[in-house]
Chain A
Amino acid sequence: MPTRLSAWLKAGIPVLQKDLRVEFRTRYAYSALVMFAVTTLVTVSFSIGGATLEVDIAASLLWIILFFSAMAGLSRSFVQEEEAGTVVALKLAADPEPVYFGKLFFNVVLLFSLAALVVPLFLVLLNLTVAMPLYFLLVVAMGCLGLAGVTTILAAIVSKAGAKGSLLTVLAFPVLLPLLIGAINATRSALAGVPAAYLRPDLNLLFFYNGIAVIASLLLFEYVWNE
């Protein structure tokens, strides 16, 4: 089993490279993500007009922005395969598991690069200071991993269901909610600064949720991909 997993991971890299190359040519998914995030952020920042937000509200806002941006861009990798008619070629070229890993890595790369842009902007525009920077980074990273992990397989489902516009959000929100609850709570603690021991339950929740989500997606992906 471990040898197969590493083989899948290795075979996933070319899929990731292919997706990155396609993305560099059009920059559709990334611009959709970034534009969505920046527009929301600017709206929020503009409407509160320089007032300092409470930590609770700021933490929820950050994850609302990240969640809806993810919904705007992450289904792209699968929908685009369907639209371009390249699904069959990809099916021939790779097993389902490498395809899953490739798409997952691609979505993780997308979300991380989005977070790298949006999170600093968020802190600057909303005039926030982070009490525990390292934990804050860790929480954002784990939250993004979870968002990508769950959204990848749901995006595959949505692309097979005829890419109905709002379906992804409807499907993803409730499934992602345990993750969002954990991430918002942990972000709030990291912004406000609490003893490190208080962060443990949230981080555990994020960690196990991510692990279970990725394993389940890996087991189920074959059934979505091959029909």
Chain B
Amino acid sequence: MGKLRPGHFIEVGLWLALAAVLYVYSFDFERNIEIYKFGATAWPRAIILLMVVAALGQLLYHWKDGDEATSGTLGAASDDGSEEAARRTGHTSLRWYVSTLTLLVIPFAYMRVPGWAAEVFALDDGGLHAAKLICAAVLILVYLALTWRNHVGGILALPIFFAALLEDMGFYATAPLFIVGVMFLMGERRPKWMAIVAALIMGILLFLFVSVLYVGLPTGNVHPFYDFSHWLVTLIQ
């Protein structure tokens, strides 16, 4: 087996799976272009083919040389210590990946579930908003429970979760919580400092973008978040 480890198979397997999916879906747009006989599929399929070749090359490389960097590449030098950090902390275990993947799925659950619920139970606008609030609350609890033991996974998922909530809850209400969350996950524990920094960052951002540049930030569309955003924007301007 050379120097292969299960992780190598998973990594190469992911690339091959990606290539397979992309190849299957490329038939969706297999149509002739009159002036160009290669059509719309030639370029992506060439990329897919090269992807397969490179993934297999990588497998062969792992088999022969394990995890070493090739000489002549900048791999060893441009290594920013991220691999080292991952190794030291056991963030390469299967359990960690499963927990992190679950965390990453949470935001997408928020983006899909209320819509389905509204369809199934034929909810009106008020019902949809209530469904969104309930769904957000439940998912935040799930998020907190998983993040408890997995701060790195929590940091990866938090911004996506924040982005998913932006549309409905608005920037103005969620951003301060987001700032505090990021600081907490990075190990800050002093409430006074967290409050000062959160206020400072919000102050700078709101001054810069709302009063000076007039960039409209998402205000949200769910009561009471929308009302809060509206009140704050009027206050600043």
- State whether these chains interact: no
Q: Give the B-binding residues of A (Cβ under 8 A).
A: none
